[in-house]
């Protein structure tokens, strides 16, 4: 019987559901760049000043000085559609009509948030492909649960070389509630025929952990490679690891 080994503790599960950004790939290398590209493009488009730029970053939950995102903020946890709504709201509050605000955000975000990630922006946090191969070889299925859109997610999985090693993917623009709601886990259960109690969730945010709690998964694993620190995750995770490099598979 295959087991997933974490910090020398074995867990008997049939599926591991990974978050993507901050768990499998460097969140800041991708989304920090994307956020700055979007805000820069938006400022050029509307002739915005420093005050407007600062308010956009604050509303998105991104600190340009530290280049860090708030662990419970929109950039770290929200689907792109909601991030666009937040940016449009900031413009509206600064005197733009709602239609113009949405148009400007739509145009500027096409260059950043909506853009399919390129290889230079996808930095794996460990040997992602080998871990997925090991899990599949030992009959532990692999799923991805992310708030990113499907087109960008599928492109990222291809760049990581794991498309063929992933059994199911749930994305932020799929027709269901996103994290921390348990709907993604329930969808995986129905699609793959695996009970949530036989699943492990691995992620870098409290939203990942609460999703697992609400779905009653077997194990919630917090990783420290993303937006949350140990103290933040400790209240919600069953176990905390430094990175996915601490995950191994035994038979």
As a whole number of Å, the end-to-end CA separation of the chain is 6
- pLDDT of 111 higher than 80: no
Please provide the average confidence, as pLDDT, over all residues in the chain: 95
What is the pLDDT at residue 1? Answer: 58
CATH number of 3-26+123-250: 3.40.50.1000
Tokens of 107: 């145009």
What is the pLDDT at residue 3? Answer: 86
DSSP H/E element including 128: helix 128-137
* Model pLDDT for residues 112-144, shown as the tens digit of each residue: 888 899 999 999 999 999 999 999 999 999 999
Mean pLDDT within 160-168:
97
Longest CA pairwise span in the chain (Å): 62
* Model pLDDT for residues 55-93, shown as the tens digit of each residue: 999 999 999 999 889 988 999 999 999 999 999 999 999
Alpha helices in the chain (DSSP H): 27, 33-46, 50-60, 74-77, 80-93, 98-109, 128-137, 150-160, 183-192, 206-215, 230-234
Q: Are 181 and 152 in contact (CB under 8 A)?
A: no
What global pTM score does this model have? 0.92
Distance of CA 220 to the CA centre of its chain: 15
Handedness of CA 124, 220, 137, 153 (dihedral sign): negative
Q: What is the domain partition of the chain in residue ranges?
A: 3-26+123-250, 28-109
* Model pLDDT for residues 185-204, shown as the tens digit of each residue: 999 999 999 999 999 999 99
């Amino acid at each position: 019987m295959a087991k997933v080994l974490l910090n020398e503790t074995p867990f008997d599960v049939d599926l591991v559901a990974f978050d993507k950004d901050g768990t499998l790939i460097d969140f800041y290398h991708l989304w920090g760049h994307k956020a700055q590209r979007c805000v820069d493009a938006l400022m050029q488009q509307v002739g915005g000043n420093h005050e407007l730029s600062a308010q956009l970053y604050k509303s998105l939950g991104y600190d340009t000085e530290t280049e860090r995102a708030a662990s419970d903020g929109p950039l770290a946890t929200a689907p792109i559609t909601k991030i666009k709504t937040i940016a449009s709201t900031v413009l509206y509050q600064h005197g733009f009509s709602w239609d113009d605000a949405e148009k400007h955000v739509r145009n500027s975000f096409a260059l950043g948030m909506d853009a399919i990630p390129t290889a230079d922006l996808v930095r794996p946090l460990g040997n992602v492909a080998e871990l997925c191969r090991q899990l599949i070889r030992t009959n532990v299925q692999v799923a991805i649960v992310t708030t990113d859109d499907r087109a960008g997610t599928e492109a990222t999985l291809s760049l990581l070389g794991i498309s063929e090693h992933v059994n199911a993917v749930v994305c932020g623009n799929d027709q269901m509630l996103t994290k921390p709601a348990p709907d993604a886990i329930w969808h995986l259960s129905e699609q793959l025929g695996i009970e949530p109690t036989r699943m492990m969730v691995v992620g870098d945010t409290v939203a990942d952990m609460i999703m697992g709690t609400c779905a009653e998964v077997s194990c919630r694993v917090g990783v420290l490679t993303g937006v949350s620190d140990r103290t933040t995750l400790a209240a919600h995770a069953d176990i905390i690891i430094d990175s996915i490099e601490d995950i191994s598979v035994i038979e």
